[in-house]
Amino acid sequence: GGGDGESTFLEVMEEGDEDEGGALSGPGTRSVYSVLAVVTALSGVPHAGVTHREFLRDCCALITPKVQKLSPTSLVALAEALQSLGIARSERVLMRRLSEWIEVVKYEIPPAALRKAADIFDAERGPRLFSLETAQSKRGGPGERGTP
């Protein structure tokens, strides 16, 4: 289960948010990326979703209110990590926030990554709250013109 090092890490991340500022990053940006890095790293470890369940739950709780601080591609990476860890279905609130925020920034997500996110949300029974319309499809990108 979760060891002392895991709880100390999360305490440091929460405390770091109080001191952190900066016009560009805003409070909490650095720590949310640190937690994201740990979650995505654990997604490559066999059975980590089971052996580190409590720690991952705490990580998700820390990330959930700060989803809007993640870059568009990080949103997709987080959804991938949650699916790989087998915890996407149990992290409904975080998945919903991810889905809501992907809708907001979907034009900044490459079409292949947006499709991957859609596949994840569909496989994990959503909720998928974003469409697959991209900036490219909206302005009539290559291959969308009619044939003579």
How far is residue 146 CA from its own chain's centroid?
37
Q: In the predicted model, is pLDDT for residue 90 greater than 50?
A: yes
Supply 127's token pair: 């909720």
pLDDT at 138 (0 to 100): 63
Q: Which runs of consecutive H residues, i.e. helices, occur in 20-130?
A: 29-42, 48-51, 53-63, 72-85, 92-105, 111-123
> What's the rounded mean pLDDT across residues 108-127?
94
pTM for the model stands at 0.78
Q: How many helices (H) and strands (E) does the chain have?
A: 8, 0
- Whole-angstrom CA distances from 135 to 1, 74, 107, 108, 121 are 44, 19, 5, 8, 21
Q: In the predicted model, is pLDDT for residue 132 greater than 80?
A: yes
Instruction: With beta carbons less than 8 A apart as the criterion, state whether 76 and 117 touch.
Output: yes
Closest to 9 in 3D by CA, of 40, 28, 31: 31
Instruction: With beta carbons less than 8 A apart as the criterion, state whether 87 and 60 touch.
Output: yes
pLDDT tens-digit map of 4-61: 666 667 776 766 554 444 433 444 677 889 899 999 999 999 999 999 999 999 999 9
Supply 135's token pair: 């900036």
pLDDT at 19 (0 to 100): 44
How far from each other are the two terminal CA atoms of the chain, in whole angstroms?
Answer: 63
